[in-house]
Amino acid sequence: MRPQAERAASDGLIWGLQRRLLVMLFLPLGMVGMVSVFFHYQSAGTAALQQDQQLLHLVPLLADSVVVSQDGSDSRALGTELGLALLLAPPVEEFLKEREGFAAYGLMDASGRLLLGDAWLPTVLPSTGDAEFLSVVEGGVTYRVVAQRNDTAAGELIVMLADGSDARQNWLETVLLRVLLPNLLLLLVAAAAVTWAVARALRPLIDLKDAVEHRSPRDLSPIDAESAPAEVRPLVASLNRLFSLVNDQTQAQRRFVADAAHQLRTPLAGLQAQVEAWAQAARSMGAGDMLSLRVDQVQRMRDATRRTSQLANQLLALSRADSVSADAQPMEQVDLRELCENILALYLDAATSKQMDLGIESAPAQTRGHAWLLRELLINIVDNAVKYTPPGGRITLRCGLEETPAGWRAWMEVEDDGPGIACDEQTRVLQRFYRLPGTQTEGNGLGLAIADEIARAHRTQLQLAVGAMGHGLRVRVAFDAVTPPLATVAHGPQRGRSADGPVRESKEG
């Protein structure tokens, strides 16, 4: 069933392209044919009008050609009847010779009796001196006939002249032979050529499709571009780039899972060892006996549980940041000042326990992004600062706007006076699970990596620098700003910092 489905898909691809090409070919050719028919018809009408004008011009000449001859001695006379003869004027004689077999003339008296000429001509009795035109079919030929009363040498006669070369009776045949038939042949040849050319041109694509389709899902090795036709090499190169990106992402996911398993193993092993020790002690006790626990055991178990929970939350945040980068979900307007104030309130208790000075210096700033991810970004940066800044230290959250050559930027930063990060390590600390050598504080090496991943999902990145006092760390991230009103830009930053206590938050304005 599958080979039949694949052949059906290939045939459908070829036939679909053939159909589109044929339609694109037929439409202009059909329009050209219609225009040609129209112009041929106009040309035939013009020729017919010129024919009528010529007949109208020759009728007086034919009337002047009538002579009265009793003996018929004139060698140029066409015939005699009741003493009448025709001594043709040169234009009339030339007209009859050029259209021999397709031209006729006639002379009738006032009652319609034929005196000279072809007997098949109809009897036409013009009531005035104006010429009358009519079409007559004789012997399968349509004749254009003109009849007019004219004064002749034999008195007033009805002079008739017929022309069987009327362009309008042949225009349909001309169109069929000169327009429709050649275009029809051209369409048939083009259809055959398109069918053959499309099938041949798409064969490399069909072969490439079959090669990719029959690959193992785990096979992300590049396709040999040299063996592919030149026409599809750009496509092969694009596929190889895609395979490379997917392979890199797959490898990163595998490393991530392996690192996550390694990081989770330590706290889980500690929890399991502690629980196993309690279970071993409980085996020798009765069902109603109380199991006593030391304070240090409970604290170790709490620390291990907190570390496991924090690591799970960080892994979830990292996974969400990856999914946002891939899915490009719609963004919303985010108030960075409000975000900084909320995170400040969230970490006041943690800063109080370490006697830290935690404050904020904020100005109105808004951007477009994922509010829940930007909250996670700031939480990880502040958590990293609180965790690694020694007791009694100083941490400041800031946000605001700045004008750059590329436009307005909304920014946030967190600055501390802790140990900081050496310049040669600032790039490496953004890697997942990387921790500075000699770090004693517990952690997973994910905080700044998550923040940087979220920043990249918002088309920016973290900027690490030394603190303003020459030590500590300043982490900054800037986004495209929602263009603010002038009054908002002119309004200065709003500062809040503990005044008579280590972490009491105060807001002005």
- CB neighbours of residue 157 within 10 Å: 23
Q: How far is CA 309 from the centre of its chain?
A: 45
The conformation of residue 338, written as its DSSP 8-state character, comes to H
Q: What are the DSSP calls for 25-47, one per residue?
A: HHHHHHHHHHHHHHHHHHHHHHH
Among 141, 171, 201, give the residue marking a domain's end.
Answer: 171
pLDDT digits (tens, 9 = 90+) for 263-275: 666 667 777 777 7
Residue 298 has pLDDT above 80, yes or no: no
- What average pLDDT does range 448-470 have in this prediction? 88
Predicted confidence band at 509 (pLDDT cuts at 50, 70, 90)? Answer: very low
CA dihedral of 191, 193, 194, 195, whole degrees rounded to 10: 80
Mean pLDDT of 383-393: 91
DSSP assignment string, 439-459: --S---S-HHHHHHHHHHHTT
239-260 tens-digit pLDDT: 888 888 888 777 767 766 666 6
Cα(83)–Cα(79) distance, rounded to whole angstroms? 10
Is residue 310 scored above 70 in pLDDT? no
pLDDT at 226: 76
Q: Which residue has the tokens 């921790």?
A: 435
Residue in the block written with tokens 């219609």 = 34
Confidence of residue 443 (pLDDT cuts 50, 70, 90): low
Q: What radius of gyration, in Å, describes the C-alpha atoms of the chain?
A: 51
The answer on pLDDT for 445 being more than 80 is no
Instruction: Report which of 196, 144, 177, 161 is spatially closest to residue 18, judged by C-alpha positions.
Output: 196
Q: Is the pLDDT of residue 462 over 90?
A: yes
Work out the percent of the chain whose per-residue pLDDT is above 70: 70
Sign of CA dihedral 298, 299, 303, 304: negative
How many Cα atoms within 13 Å fall on the side-chain side of residue 5? 3
Residue-level pLDDT at 477: 96
More confidently predicted of 238 and 83: 238
What pLDDT score does 42 carry? Answer: 66
> Regarding predicted confidence, which is higher, 326 or 42?
42
Range of the domain at 447: 330-496
Tell me, what's the pLDDT at 381?
A: 93
369 and 328 Cβ atoms separated by less than 8 Å:
no
Q: Are strands 357-362 and 394-404 parallel, antiparallel or unpaired?
A: parallel
Q: What is the mean pLDDT of residues 82-97?
A: 83
Q: Kindly indicate the confidence band of residue 116, based on its pLDDT and cuts at 50, 70 and 90.
A: confident
What's the whole-model pTM score? 0.48
- Mean pLDDT (the chain, rounded): 77
Inter-residue contact 348 to 386 (CB < 8 Å): no
Residue type, 417: D
Last residue of a domain, which of 106, 139, 171? 171
In a domain, 122, yes or no: yes
Quickly count: other Cβ atoms within 10 Å of residue 295's Cβ: 7
Q: How many domains does the chain have?
A: 2
Counting residues of the chain whose pLDDT is more than 90, the rounded percentage is 19
- The pLDDT score that the predictor gives to residue 425 is 86
Contact 198, 17 (CB under 8 A): yes
Instruction: Note whether residue 439 is domain-resident.
Output: yes
Cα–Cα dist 174/181, whole Å: 10
Whether 192 is covered by a domain: the verdict is no
Helix (H) or strand (E) holding 142: strand 141-152
| pLDDT tier at 357, thresholds 50, 70, 90 | very high
For the cut 50, the answer to whether the pLDDT of residue 497 exceeds it is: no
Q: What is the pLDDT of residue 476?
A: 96
Whole-number Å distance between alpha carbons of 133 and 161 = 10
pLDDT at residue 81 tops 60: no
The per-residue pLDDT for range 123-182, each reduced to its tens digit, is 888 888 888 888 888 887 888 899 999 888 888 899 999 988 765 556 566 666 666 777
Asked if the structure places residue 374 within a domain, the reply is: yes
**Residue 291 counted as domain residue:** no
- pLDDT tens digits along 405-438: 988 999 999 999 988 888 888 888 888 777 787 7
- Distance, in Å, from the CA atom of 404 to the CA atom of 292, rounded to the nearest integer, reads 64
Burial class (CB in 10 A: 0-12, 13-18, 19+), 149: buried
User: Quick one: pLDDT at residue 411?
Assistant: 96
Return the CATH number at 377. Answer: 3.30.565.10
Domain termination site, one of 116, 151, 171: 171
Instruction: List helix spans (H) across 361-422.
Output: 371-388
Average pLDDT over residues 325-341: 80
Q: Is the pLDDT of residue 287 over 70?
A: no
323 part of a folded domain: no
CA–CA gap between residue 66 and residue 87 (Å, rounded): 6
| 469 in any annotated domain | yes
**Of 235 and 288, the one with more pLDDT:** 235
Of the listed ranges 79-93, 160-174, 311-325, 386-400, the least confidently predicted one is 311-325
H-helix or E-strand containing 316? helix 295-327
Q: Can you give the pLDDT at residue 73? A: 47
The residue length of the chain stands at 509
pLDDT tops 70 at residue 44: no
pLDDT confidence of residue 503 = 35
Instruction: Give the pLDDT of residue 367.
Output: 95
Q: Examine residue 383 and state whether it is found in any structural domain, yes or no.
A: yes
User: Residues 7-41: pLDDT tens digits?
Assistant: 555 555 556 666 777 777 777 777 776 777 676 66
